[in-house]
Amino acid sequence: MKLHDLNPAQREAVEAMGGPILIFAGAGSGKTRVLTYKIAYLIEEIGLPPENILAVTFTNKAAQEMKERVSKILTVDTQKMNVGTFHSICARMLRFEIPRLGYTRDFSIYDQADSRALVKEIIQGLNLDTKTFVPNAYQNHISSKKNQMLSPENVAEYAEGYIDEKLAQIYTEYQKALKKNNALDFDDLLLLPIQLFKDHPNRLAYYQSQYQYVLVDEYQDTNRPQFELVHSISEKHRDICVVGDDDQSIYGWRGADIKNILEFSDIFGESKIIKLEQNYRSTKTILKAAHAVVSLNENRSEKELWTENKDGDKIRVQDCYDERDEAKKIVSWINNEINEEFKFLDHVILYRTNAQSRSIEDELRRKAIPYQIIGGVKFYDRKEVKDVLAYLRLIVNPYDTVSFDRVVNFPPRGIGKTSLDKFKNFAQLIDLNLITALERINEINIGTKQKASLSQFRDMINSFTEKIDTDTAKDIAINLVNAIELNEHYLNQNNIESRERWSNVDELLNSISEFTENSEERGLRMFLEEVSLLTDIDRHNKSDDSVTLMTIHSAKGLEYPVVHISGLEEGLLPLGSLSNTDMDLEEERRLFYVAITRAKQKAFLYNASMRRRFGGEPIQSITSQFIGELPVSLVDHIQIKHTSQPYYTSTQKYIHSKSSSLKRTFKSTESMYSVGSLVKHSIFGKGKLLRIDGVGENAKLTIIFSGNVKKTLIQKYANLTILESA
C-alpha cells in the first residue's frame, strides 16, 4: 500500500496502531483522506477483515464517500464495511436486536414532525393548554433529557414545581405511546442500544468481538449517548481512533460535549495524540484571520493551521444599512465575481438563522440569479411527501397511530373527526392496533358510509402489507399512489400549488425507484429506514450552477471558493443575550471559525446597522465583536456611504440622526476611554471599564456590566457613553 502522497503527520496518523488514538484534524487538513487510508491500512497491512471495522461518520453522504474512496484504494467488497452515522448503525443493530427490548423489527422511526404530533396529542389528552404547554418546546425538553440520558422516572424524581411535574408526566406518556406505536424517535435510536448492552451483557460482548477496531469522525460533536456507545464497544480491545477538531465544536445546543475530545486521554487512558495542521483548502490570509479569532477561546487545544497556498485577498468586511441593503451588496459582490474563474456554484451564502435568507432570496430572484437553499422546509418534510411516506410506514407497521391519523382521511374519504374519535376510543378499549381494530368496525355506532370508507381503507392497507416481503419498494409505492388516485386528487385541483405537490410526489417515486435499482436490499422496510435518516445535506447537489444558501451549521464539512457570511452583529452572530456564559460565547466564536474556514479563496463578511427582528420595526445593531477580533492588516473594510434615500422611511429621521455613529471613525492613536471609567451601553446598560488592549479605533475594551456580565467590545463599534471618567 502506497502512502507517499500523505504528508508526514497524515502518514503518522494512518500507521499509528495499538491503543487509543486522538487525531486533531484542523479545517481542510485532509481528515477524510486520513480516515480512508486508515481503513485501507487496517485491511491491507494489518489484515483486519472489513466486517470487523466500525467507522462512524456524521452524515450519510460522508459514509458513502468514505466507502467509495476505500474501494478505489483496495479491491475489497465495501458492502461488508460497517460505515455509517451513529443513527444508521444503531438502526441496523436494532432491526436485529430490538425484540429483546419489547418492540418488533418493523418499528417506525419518527422524525421531528412525527414526534411533535405525538407530543401534541399527549398534551391534549392530559387536558393541558397547548398555548402554555407548547408541543414543540416540550418535544425539545424531552430530547434534551434523553441527551442527558435521563429517563422519565429520573425527571419525575427530581421534579421541582408544577411545570417540571407536567414535563415528567408528558415525557412518561410520550414514551408509553412510542412503544405502543412500535416507534422510536431519533434519540431512542441511540439510547436503546445502550439499554441493550446494559440488560444483555452477552450482546455487548458480541459487538465488542465484532467491531475490533472503531473509528469515529467529528468526535468533537459527540453527545453523551454517542460517547457511551463507542466507549462500551471499544472498552475491551481499546483499539479506537477518533478524529476531530475542538475548534469546530458547534453543537453544544443539542447536547454535544466538547469535553469528549478535550479529555479523551483522561477517559480512555494513555493515548497517542497527533495533530494535522497543514491546511490544503484556504489562503494564508483566511487561515491567519480564522486563527486570530478562535485563539481567543480558552477551552481549546493549542494548534495553528498553516498552508503552502498563496496569501490571497484580504477578508472583505462590508458595512450595510439594513438587511435589504445587505442582500443587495451580497448579490452585487456575487455578480462582480462571476467571471472565467468563478461561477455561481462557487459561491455560498451563510447565515446564523434560516430567517435571514428571506431578503437574500428576494434579491437573488430580482436579479434572476439561480440558487438552491439547504434547510428550511426539507424535501422529506413537505406535506405531500410525508403523506405518501405515512401510507408506506403504516403498511409496514400497523401500530403507527401517527401515520394512521395522517392518512386515514387523505385523500378525503368522508370520515369526520367524530367518527374517528369513536373508532380510536373503541380500539383503545379492546387494546388492538388501529388497522386490526378496523376488522370490528361494525361494532361501532357510526354512519354506514363511514364504516364502508374505513373498511375499504383497511382492505387497501392490508393488501399492500401482504406484499412487503415479495414486492420491491418501487412497486408498492407506485401501486399505492395509483390506488389512492393521488395524481387525480392533485391535478383535478388545477392550480400551480397542486401541480407542484404532484411534482414532489413524482420526485419521491423517482427516489424510491433509484433506491430499488441501486440497493442490494430493495424492500420497503429498508427504504423507509434509509429515508428517515437522510438529511438535506445528503440531497445537496453541487453540480448545478447556482448559488447555495445555508446556515453555518449546515455548512460543516463543506468548502467553497467564495464564502459570504451575513449578519455579523451582536445578538445574531454571536447569537444570544446577556445571560450568555463564556462557554456560549466560545461556541459562537467556533461557529464563526467554521464559517470563515469554509472559504478556499475569498471571504466576505456583512453587517447591518439596522435590522428588523420578529417582524417589527428595524432596530439599531451593534457590529459583531468577531469582526473586531480580526487583525486589521488582514481586512479590507468598506464602510457605509451616506445616502439621502434610507430604506425605511418610517425611521428616516432616526437613521439620519444616527448617521454620524454609523460612519464613526477615530483617527486618534490613543483610546478615548480610560480604565476604571463608568460607562453606559444602549443594550448592556451601565458598566465599568476593566481593561484596554491595543490603541486607536481597534482597541479592545473589557467591561463588566450590571449582573456581572463581562463583554469585550471594539472601540470603534462600542458607542459608549462615559458617565464618569476615572
Query: Which one is catalytic: 57, 220, 226, 248?
Result: 248
The span from the CA of 242 to the CA of 86, in Å, is: 14
Residue located via cell numbers 474512496: 69
Copy the grid coordinates of residue 566: 451575513
Under DSSP, is residue 189 helix (H, G, I), strand (E, B) or coil?
helix
Active site residue 636: no
The span from the CA of 59 to the CA of 116, in Å, is: 23
Under DSSP, is residue 442 helix (H, G, I), strand (E, B) or coil?
helix
Active site residue 165: no
Query: Which one is catalytic: 11, 15, 32, 702?
Result: 32
Under DSSP, is residue 306 helix (H, G, I), strand (E, B) or coil?
strand
The span from the CA of 603 to the CA of 285, in Å, is: 10
Query: Which one is catalytic: 106, 111, 173, 217?
Result: 217
Residues in contact with 377: Cβ distance below 8 Å, sequence separation at least 6, in sequence order: none
Active site residue 458: no
Active site residue 124: no
Whether residue 573 contacts residue 592, with contact meaning beta carbons closer than 8 Å, is answered with: yes
SS3 content of the chain, % helix, strand, coil (to 5): 50, 15, 35
The span from the CA of 716 to the CA of 660, in Å, is: 12
Query: Which one is catalytic: 145, 281, 598, 602?
Result: 598
Amino acid (1-letter code) at residue 661: S
Which region, left, alpha or beta, applies to residue 255 given φ > 0 means left and ψ of -120 to 50 means alpha? left
Active site residue 31: yes
3-class SS string, 373-434: ECCCCCHHHCHHHHHHHHHHHHHHCCCCHHHHHHHCCCCCCCCCHHHHHHHHHHHHHHCCCH
Whether residue 262 contacts residue 301, with contact meaning beta carbons closer than 8 Å, is answered with: yes
3-class SS string, 352-368: CCHHHHHHHHHHHHHCC
Active site residue 436: no
Report DSSP letters for 262-292, one per residue.
HTHHHHH-S-EEEEE-B-SSS-HHHHHHHHH
Report the catalytic residues. Answer: 31-32, 217-218, 248, 598
